[in-house]
Structure 1
Amino acid sequence: MNIEPDDSKQVVLQVGAALKKLRKERQLSLEDLSELSGVSRLTLGNIERGETNPTIGMLWKISRSLSIPLMALFSSENGVNLSRAGKGLRIPGEGAKWVIEPIYQNGNHEMEMYRFYLQPNSSYYPETHHHNTTEFVTVMSGSISIQVNNESYTLNQYDSISFPADGTHSYINPTHEVVVLHIILKYGQ
């Protein structure tokens, strides 16, 4: 997950506590969840105890196996949510080629919104999302190529696209500037 140093321990503990609560609510053992998610029992235990910093790919596998939105693992209970660009939780990818900033999640876990930064001449190949998930993307700055099931789409500033996110898709920034996207995930029932 590799988050900013100031918040890393707090977020790791929050994710661990949320995972343990969700697992117990579903009456799953660590072994059961390991079989469902493909994440080792030892790693799941370490995540729950806040002893490891899981990757975003690992968290996608866990959330998919529990049929919950990714942000349910980061949830907190407060009434007003303010998201400032570059502040709060930031999840950088391998080699700092991309950064995801969770913005909002609605209360019944049907929708999540992210701010996404993709560095120049970089690409991002996310895990497939939950079944019946739709991804909505708006380019806030820059230009990007988005591939969905082997079809390529070029989007410029303020262009938007939506597509089924439970299939393969990728983001490619062939330019020399950072691309900023707003991404909404809408989970189907």
Structure 2
Amino acid sequence: MDASAPPPIGPGLNAARKARKLTLEQLAQMSGVSRSMLSQIERGEANPTFAVLWNLTQALGIEFSELIAGSAVLHKPAISVMSTEQTPEIVSGNGACRLRILSPMQTAGETEWYALEIAAGEALTSAAHQAGAVEHFTALSGEFTVRSGAQERAIAAGETARYPADVDHAIANVSGEVGHGILVLLYR
């Protein structure tokens, strides 16, 4: 093997996928990498970009080094920890609302959960999600009003509001301090 050639990733990817009893289609859905690209990588016909490798390792729950070394099948820790730096975050345009994405990417579009922070007097306003979607918001600190369609309810720290999210909806922090909560979105 040429020392300047990239390491063969295909066999490790194939072994990791099969060890988890995943089809190409399932891994494609979990990773966001097309089925045809996955097949090409496994056959050694494509050299994936860093972004593609990242998506694959995250979907499979393995490290880059495991994929490259071909040891991805042998070791998968029972406890996976995601550092603060690795946790994706969505910040509103004005910086008043922060959503830290706590759910794994493979559950996106089914079940999603977020750590939510809203500045005093600000609101997270959302357009309708797909039909049947429901949100569960648990206030950890602060005071909020939750609106779903035309209905609105006040909730305090420790309380949970459950409401349809397939209509316009909002969570407003009505306290004088930064408010925190956990937001869970369920698609049906």
For the aligned pair, the TM-score class normalised by the smaller chain equals 0.5 to 0.7
Query: How many pairs were matched up?
Result: 126
Are the equivalent residues in 2 in contact too, given 1:135–1:184 (CA < 8 A)? yes
* CA drift at 1:134: 1.1
Are the equivalent residues in 2 in contact too, given 1:81–1:104 (CA < 8 A)? no
Aligned residue type for 2:97: W
Tell me the alpha carbon deviations over residues 102-126 of structure 1, each in whole angstroms, 9 at most, x when there is no partner.
0114855521111110001111211
Please provide the CA RMSD for this pair.
Answer: 3.4
Structure with the greater alpha carbon radius of gyration: 2
Distance 1:95 1:147 in 2: 21
Q: What does residue 89 of structure 2 align with?
A: 90
Q: What does residue 181 of structure 1 align with?
A: 181
* CA drift at 1:160: 0.4
Per the alignment, in what secondary structure is the counterpart of residue 176 of structure 1?
A: coil
Q: Where do 1:1-189 residues align within 5 Å?
A: 22=32, 76-77=58-59, 78=61, 80-82=79-81, 88-105=87-104, 107=106, 109=108, 110-188=110-188
Aligned residue type for 2:98: V
Percent identity among equivalent residues? 15
TM-score after normalising by structure 2: 0.56
TM-score after normalising by structure 1: 0.56
* CA drift at 1:86: 8.4
Question: Which contiguous aligned blocks of 4+ residues in structure 1 show a shift greater than 3 angstroms?
Answer: 21-25, 79-87, 105-109
Question: Which structure has greater helix proportion?
Answer: 1
Are the equivalent residues in 1 in contact too, given 2:146–2:161 (CA < 8 A)? no
Question: Which 5+ residue runs of structure 2 have no aligned equivalent?
Answer: 1-27, 36-50, 62-75
